[in-house]
Structure 1
């Protein structure tokens, strides 16, 4: 066991080197000099809210003109076809009017002048106040804001750029809002590999965006700033009132400009001019296959903490491994050896009396007097169902009840089946991610592939659910298949649909389109459910139930009074803390990547793979230790308990999620908070189902092993 763990650890440590790398030569796009490079606009998002919006649908940006780009078939305003993962993550990618030509620098170029009313202006102010950033895409790279490390030795990227700035002239003053109506686009390129490079073609290895706010004044006839490098004032989002339409007496001394209602329809407008600059710069040291490294340099600084988390996990898991080794090597082996010496055979126990001892049992009365056995060798058979045997205690005493079918087994079986479905999906995602198949270039790939694996894993779900169901004595396997195929997916779909209603009301791109919901429904009912049925039929009819080494007694044994710490709630909470302690440091990075560094979560898959292996080992060991302690206290209701113990760390993770929300995040708004906690709860529930299934199966294997050992004589 120890050698297997070491091999797995070394293998997963090697996988951390990949860090979701690009596979060289895969999907490389090279450009010749003068070739048009399309720029796509996607969405705006913020760390302070869960709501995203399509950039092209914002009321204060330049609408698409619908013209065809030179040397290209792309039409401005055309939406790209997206995969399922892109749609679910809120992407809305559209061809823009920005023109980029490989090798051609543009110091200043006019895009458009867009008139906005007060309602559009209020929307712009709200987005700037909430810290929204825009995501543009060139050659599948998100436009980035560049920074340097604290020692100024390296540069790194943060995806997206700010829509504008909120400015306070004094601490007590009203905020002023300035929109970034000019962007400087820096395209960094490298000579293309192979034959393309010999032909003078280039590949893009960096896309930087430097936003700037430039006032309306001091512009030439073409709408370009006179001096784009020395801008004195920015473009403030402020509309002067239309005094002819409001009906307000502006000569009244009581009138103050701040009394103005921002969204009132007085016909006043503000014209925002948009311009951009383009520069191409060669990057000789950065190869195409390593171009995403710039987005991960900041995360490299935390690698030591990642390894600290792994060491912490190894220490806890190592201690548990030692405990389990002691239980197996000494305690259980000694119990089994003593039990065999006592001799268990078909419910009979043999007790061997040793010379020089007095038997505690009394013989039959003969001739009116009571004879006692003295100093003689006695060996007699005693029925364990009729006599109390002091030599047989603890887990050995409940051998006739330990495999008794649990209450509500018809619910436990579908949960275990759904858990195996999640195990298959999670293992596939981690494997593909660590080998670089799922990487940042495959936009939405993590969700799309995950959905595909989940649907295909319906076979495993039906198979394991039916076998567990038949093991519990169930007969209606079609009903079990229906429950397995609809219970967890149905609850997830219903929850997502209800939450989607709130997002629809906000006109956010986070909302799943109705057509996509119908597609997911069809995928569930017409593909996954039949696969669950096939797996269920094979598991129930062809393979059948697992056989138990000992048959259950007809009459269940009475369970003695349990200690306070061995009761279900206390045991679940205490046992769940250990797996949580294994992963809580890594959870900090997971939460940060999901809600703060939204473009960096691929970076962690190598570390996450190692910690996941350690977590699974810890869940197995904790479940075995707690199950053994429960059996030793003569409590044979271990089926549900093992499942709950395996998934109990999800309770601590959800509590940690609460702390992270209030201590680290600045999410505001009812809908955003609702989405955060509901999706967080669903994620914890899915995690608990997965680890609960692992705990259940490991406990079942453990119980079969020890009771099979005492059965074999």
Structure 2
């Protein structure tokens, strides 16, 4: 018995969403399934990657000579975490719930020449150490200079610090080898259970000294004595990074009861001072864009109604010939454009990208893609991109058939491989550069193989299914007939020059998103959390409206100038906003980032080039469909013999 095609599609989508929910662990609501700890429950601190905003190259925690547990165990990671460069492993830091500890010795090690060189390099590049306890990232409280009572939180602590005024040529490097942890918990009023709601640390650099001989973890330190309740402070003799010298790693643990409930424990991460959204600026920008687009829509409607009523009142063909404007090109306006195959492919790709972003932002705005689930957002985007392949094939095939194309398999293959191939090529080259730097951010071969499998095994077949359905379905007839001989286009005014009008058309869509773009770039390149997906969704809707209306306006002016080559120009008009996005990314690089290494600069511009190309196909497709709907509407509204 044959299975209906719709049921087969639902089965594919259902399997993919199961993969998304289970393998990607994306559908996570904050406040669900909290971990309850009794007094003697062990707390295992996990270590994550070393990060630096100066290099953008993450490294594994054990890349540096830190204390290791007896057995290093890698935590299971989803696809998004691997792509982000997360490497989560266990550590020798193990606490007992609500059991304070002082001056615990982790280990003693002797620095090798390589270890000292690596530490100095990472201190120079301002690398931070990231740790996790009960899924909470480690933060460092920093007191604000302008406000006495306010404290801001920074993700991770610095590996160490450099003293440039030591009198030596290259300065002295000091290591933070003592960690003073503070674990905040919210106690259950009815039971002897507690839930962790905060994980903070204050790092110190101390050159430890001890009595007599070294007895391992039972050695009594002179610089930090728990028996005398001597808590370590910033020492006048910090631990210098020097080869062939011993370093003793120690830590304290303090537990503090907190009024913060478990469901609200992520608030301090989402409201960090460096990532605060300037609400007034965003709302002001959105209101300006809404006002401008409203005015454009009103002007267009009034102008069009007047034109259509005038054309429909003409009594004779001679009167119609005397008229000028968009009606005169009715015999050429639906003539297939040059390079129509390439346009079909870009439109199909834009539909795929639009569907992925729309569904992702809806789930994120509803709270399913919480920042507390590392990698969940990226996993969702990859899986949804694969699933939206069916819409890419359907859209490109239908447009291709409208252009009287016959080789639907050729257009399907191009749709399935062109855009993903370009993005994958950029990604592969950049990944090779990361691998050459021995960074943990390099995607492993197994993950690369999984991405190729998703592409060839799911996305490509779905593109073929959608293309088959789109090509099989009859396309609507054009509202007017196309002449056999193309009409000559009169000389255009300077402001209707294609390059000028296309560049002008991209300004307004970019203006709708550039404020939000600043915070998105900050979250990506400065290791901040982005969480206001509701605002982002509103900005996305305004971007759609802006792209549609600016394209319709310029398309109308173009047709009034008797220029009927609107197909590609409608796509490029709103798509040119990607050029401004890349220029803004360049401006952001030189004004906000402190990247110094050439490899890091190549990574930045490589990824931003891929992002700009994606933005081009998204906004271009929105503008194209708006202009397509507009031209069919106006030419079906007038009487043409």
Alignment RMSD: 2.0
2:286 corresponds to which of 292, 309, 313: 313
Is 2:591 the partner of 1:599? Answer: no
Is 2:590 the partner of 1:662? Answer: yes
**Residue in structure 1 matched with residue 548 of structure 2 by the alignment:** 620
**Residue in structure 2 matched with residue 12 of structure 1 by the alignment:** none
1-structure distance, mates of 2:583, 2:364? 28
1:84-483 counterparts in 2 under 5 A?
Answer: 84-149=79-144, 150-169=146-165, 174-192=170-188, 198-218=190-210, 221=214, 222-223=218-219, 225-228=221-224, 229-230=232-233, 231-239=235-243, 269-284=244-259, 286-299=260-273, 302-303=276-277, 305-329=278-302, 331-343=303-315, 349-351=316-318, 389-390=321-322, 392-483=323-414
Q: Cα offset for 1:226? A: 2.1
1:44 corresponds to which of 40, 50, 73: 50
Is 2:70 the partner of 1:65? Answer: yes
Per-residue CA deviation, residues 69-123 of structure 1 (Å, 9 max, x unaligned), is xxxxxxxx11011100000000111111111110111011111112221122111
Q: In structure 2, do the counterparts of structure 1 residues 170 and 98 end up closer, same or farther at CA, with 3 Å as the change threshold?
A: closer
Q: Cα offset for 1:663? A: 1.5
2-structure distance, mates of 1:465, 1:398? 26
The answer (yes or no) to whether the contact 2:78–2:375 under 8 Å persists in 1 is: yes
Q: Helix, strand or coil for the counterpart of 2:440? A: coil
2-structure distance, mates of 1:99, 1:406? 67
Q: Cα offset for 1:155? A: 3.4
1-structure distance, mates of 2:140, 2:477? 62
Query: Unpaired runs of 5+ in structure 1?
Result: 1-19, 67-76, 240-268, 344-348, 353-383
Q: Helix, strand or coil for the counterpart of 1:710? A: coil
Q: In structure 2, do the counterparts of structure 1 residues 579 and 219 end up closer, same or farther at CA, with 3 Å as the change threshold?
A: farther
Q: Helix, strand or coil for the counterpart of 1:38? A: strand
Q: In structure 2, do the counterparts of structure 1 residues 637 and 169 end up closer, same or farther at CA, with 3 Å as the change threshold?
A: same
Q: Cα offset for 1:198? A: 2.8
The answer (yes or no) to whether the contact 1:459–1:534 under 8 Å persists in 2 is: yes
Q: Cα offset for 1:350? A: 3.2
Q: In structure 2, do the counterparts of structure 1 residues 23 and 647 end up closer, same or farther at CA, with 3 Å as the change threshold?
A: same
The answer (yes or no) to whether the contact 2:52–2:125 under 8 Å persists in 1 is: yes
1:527 corresponds to which of 452, 458, 465: 458
Per-residue CA deviation, residues 658-698 of structure 1 (Å, 9 max, x unaligned), is 11111221101111010000001101110111111111001
Q: Helix, strand or coil for the counterpart of 2:331? A: coil
Q: In structure 2, do the counterparts of structure 1 residues 589 and 457 end up closer, same or farther at CA, with 3 Å as the change threshold?
A: same
Q: Cα offset for 1:464? A: 0.7
Q: In structure 2, do the counterparts of structure 1 residues 690 and 277 end up closer, same or farther at CA, with 3 Å as the change threshold?
A: same
Query: Unpaired runs of 5+ in structure 2?
Result: 1-25, 225-231
Q: In structure 2, do the counterparts of structure 1 residues 642 and 169 end up closer, same or farther at CA, with 3 Å as the change threshold?
A: same
2-structure distance, mates of 1:548, 1:148? 67
Per-residue CA deviation, residues 630-649 of structure 1 (Å, 9 max, x unaligned), is 11111111111011112111
Q: Cα offset for 1:320? A: 2.9
2-structure distance, mates of 1:292, 1:453? 27
The answer (yes or no) to whether the contact 1:654–1:684 under 8 Å persists in 2 is: yes
2-structure distance, mates of 1:546, 1:123? 66
Q: Cα offset for 1:470? A: 0.8
The TM-score normalised by the length of structure 1 is: 0.82
Q: Helix, strand or coil for the counterpart of 2:638? A: helix
Q: Cα offset for 1:351? A: 4.7
Per-residue CA deviation, residues 126-155 of structure 1 (Å, 9 max, x unaligned), is 101111001100011111111345434443
Q: Helix, strand or coil for the counterpart of 1:274? A: strand
2-structure distance, mates of 1:592, 1:106? 37
Per-residue CA deviation, residues 315-373 of structure 1 (Å, 9 max, x unaligned), is 133223212211212x2111111111115xxxxx5357xxxxxxxxxxxxxxxxxxxxx
1-structure distance, mates of 2:208, 2:417? 59
The answer (yes or no) to whether the contact 1:310–1:611 under 8 Å persists in 2 is: no
The answer (yes or no) to whether the contact 1:135–1:143 under 8 Å persists in 2 is: yes
2-structure distance, mates of 1:139, 1:464? 45
Q: Cα offset for 1:296? A: 2.6
**Residue in structure 1 matched with residue 7 of structure 2 by the alignment:** none
Q: Cα offset for 1:172? A: 8.2
Per-residue CA deviation, residues 450-481 of structure 1 (Å, 9 max, x unaligned), is 11110110111111111111111111111111
**Residue in structure 2 matched with residue 558 of structure 1 by the alignment:** 488
My pick for the range that moved more, 670-679 or 579-588, is 579-588
1-structure distance, mates of 2:252, 2:563? 74
The answer (yes or no) to whether the contact 2:152–2:273 under 8 Å persists in 1 is: no
